Structure 1
Amino acid sequence: MRNATDRAARTRARLAACALDLFEQHGFEATTTVQIAAAAGVSEMTLFRHFPTKDQLVTGDPYDPAIAEVVAAQPASMPPLARASAGVRTAWARLPEPETGDVRRRVRIVASTPSLIAAMHAGTRATEDAIAHALIGGGASGRDARIAAAALLAALTAALLDWAETDDGTLGEAIVSALDVLDGDTP
């Protein structure tokens, strides 16, 4: 079982790497899934087993599910935005810093492709909903929870896009900077 899991992880990584290269060379819209599969040395069917849609090659975020769980675990006595911010800080501290180069490349491709911006916002909306539900579960009103989750995700998205364009620091530093702004911890 381990060999199959390792092989699947290697195939997934190879597909993502080939996709990034092709998207940077030809653009997202002009690159086909057939080209990506061929570059990775697999069939198009294999590509779709790993990435059900082409946009998931660049828009997937493995951290989103962990964030809502940690937000839910924050003290319910905290105001919703502070609780959400503390949850993201805690979740981020527990997660490994991703490889900066590939993440930055992915975000740049997303930022320059209108259809991917829409996909990113759809993913952000799912995370926003999960965080809002976690806050509601802790006693926040629906309105306050939705506002806090939306403010949090807007700040994180703005920081992520700025980070990708500026080549400044790590993703973790960009996230912490956005949280500092939300928490009023900036000069």
Structure 2
Amino acid sequence: MAATAPQLGLRERKKLKTRVAIRRATHRLIAEQGYEATTVEQIAEAADVSPSTVFRYFPTKEDIVLSDEYDPVLVAELRARPADEDPLDSLRTVLTRSLATFVAEEREEFVQRTKLLAEVPAVRARMTETMATTSDLLARALADRLGRAHDDLNVRVFTAAVLGALREVLLYWAGRGHVDDVVGLADGALRRMGQGWRP
């Protein structure tokens, strides 16, 4: 994944370091005392920044929980897929690779994130919005590969459906106590999408 990530300048690296510090402090506090009990003031203190800095980087507490730096990597990987590859295979490969990286490198944070996604309505609602942003970015990249307009409805619906399937996999995984192979679940679900629905 790192090979296709955009290179960052010094200022961007400093911003990323601050974002990561805030996010890690948030996950640590939530693990210790729960989501509702964790305040922005506590997060700021734990991350050694001011509350205004937290809000500058993350408008809401839900954004801290759900944010990551994967969107640019996903777009870059999708654009790098073979031009003649089936669009579903391209998206499936890019998404499951990203998921595998997240699970391997940040499993504890990812488990907590999906647990909150399943249990906290505000997090789930915000997830819908953040996934819409990701869907738009991926749909644009896919439209370029297919020679379609960025607002092509078929491309938008297709991309949103794939991400919707991934969301349901994450909710299922969290609901079963994170015991399954989430990458395998996602890969299987997206492969079945290409075969059409069967009971």
* Per-residue deviation, 1:153: 0.1
Q: Hey, what does 2:189 align to over in structure 1?
A: 178
Instruction: Give, in whole Å, the separation in 1 of the partners of 2:168 and 2:161.
Output: 11
Instruction: Give, in whole Å, the separation in 1 of the partners of 2:77 and 2:167.
Output: 19
Instruction: Give, in whole Å, the separation in 1 of the partners of 2:50 and 2:194.
Output: 48
Change (3 A) 1:16 1:143: closer
Give the alignment partner of residue 60 of structure 1, picking from 42, 58, 67: 67
* Cα pair 1:68 1:130 within 8 Å, conserved: yes
Q: State the identity as a percent.
A: 31
Alignment of 1:37-186 (within 5 A): 37-89=44-96, 91-92=97-98, 95=101, 97-137=104-144, 138-140=146-148, 142-165=152-175, 166-184=177-195
Change (3 A) 1:6 1:28: same
Q: CA RMSD in A?
A: 3.5
Task: Tell me if 1:35 matches 2:35.
Answer: no
* Per-residue deviation, 1:111: 2.4
Instruction: Give, in whole Å, the separation in 2 of the partners of 1:81 and 1:183.
Output: 7
| TM-score between both structures, scaled by the size of structure 1 | 0.74
Change (3 A) 1:95 1:26: closer
Could you list the runs of 5+ residues in structure 1 that have no partner in the other structure?
none
- In structure 2, give the amino acid aligned to 1:31: T
Q: Deviations over 1:2-26 (max 9, x none)?
A: 8xx68973x6555334322443565
* Cα pair 1:76 1:83 within 8 Å, conserved: no
* Cα pair 2:92 2:187 within 8 Å, conserved: no
* Cα pair 1:71 1:131 within 8 Å, conserved: yes
| TM-score between both structures, scaled by the size of structure 2 | 0.70
Q: Aligned residue pairs: how many? A: 182
